[in-house]
Amino acid sequence: MSLAVGVAICVAVFSALDSLVFAPIPGVSSVVLVVRTLDIDGAGRAVRAAVAAADPAVPIPRLQSSDVYLNERLKNVRVMTWLGAELGLLALLLAVAGLYAVMSYTVRRRTREIGIRLAMGALPSQVVALVLRQGFRLVAIGALMGSAVAIPLGFLSRS
């Protein structure tokens, strides 16, 4: 299809219509006809008639709205985003379970020490604070180490 034919088709279609319709032209990967219209079916008929009047040999296999076009183009991105979010949630759950296991093991190992502290007059809230402080220290170390790895990798993935 020549540029003059394409311009004639665009002028003929743009003069009658108002919202967006995409019409990929087969065999010519760099040409996409964009039409603004409120009536997609009417736009489809107008585009087909204008193309047939200009060059009947040019087939138009399908016309689609910009919403459908963008949804098809972004489908893989949405699936990968969803998959990444699900894997991140799984990693978070595994981290929480691991932290619980480490804290449980630590408290079990220190049962005798905790009993002696309570017998010597420590308040239960002080003992709980001691155990929680240890847990938060583990979380802080993990967050710092994770950030130290994630931030440079984030910058590398952008480029």
Q: Could you report the per-residue pLDDT of 124-154, keeping only the tens digit for each?
A: 999 999 999 988 998 899 899 999 999 998 8
Percent of the chain whose predicted confidence (pLDDT) is above 90 = 40
What CA–CA distance (Å, rounded) separates 87 from 101? 21
0.85 cut: is pTM over it? Answer: no
Q: Which of 36, 21, 33 has its CA nearest to residue 58?
A: 33
Q: What is the pLDDT of residue 124?
A: 93
Q: Would you give the distance in Å from CA 147 to the centre of its chain?
A: 21
User: Which position has the higher pLDDT, 43 or 96?
Assistant: 96
**Residue 15 pLDDT grade (very low, low, confident, very high; cuts 50, 70, 90):** very low
pLDDT classification of 26: cutoffs 50, 70, 90:
low
**Residue recorded with tokens 């138009």:** 60
Q: Is 41 left (phi over 0), alpha (psi -120 to 50) or beta?
A: alpha
Q: Does residue 137 or residue 158 have the better pLDDT?
A: 137
* DSSP annotation of 27: T
pLDDT at residue 11 tops 50: no
Q: Is 35 exposed, middle or buried (0-12, 13-18, 19+ CB in 10 A)?
A: buried
Res 32: pLDDT: 65
**What is d(CA 32, CA 52) in angstroms, rounded to the nearest whole number?**
16
- Over residues 79-92, the mean pLDDT reads 95
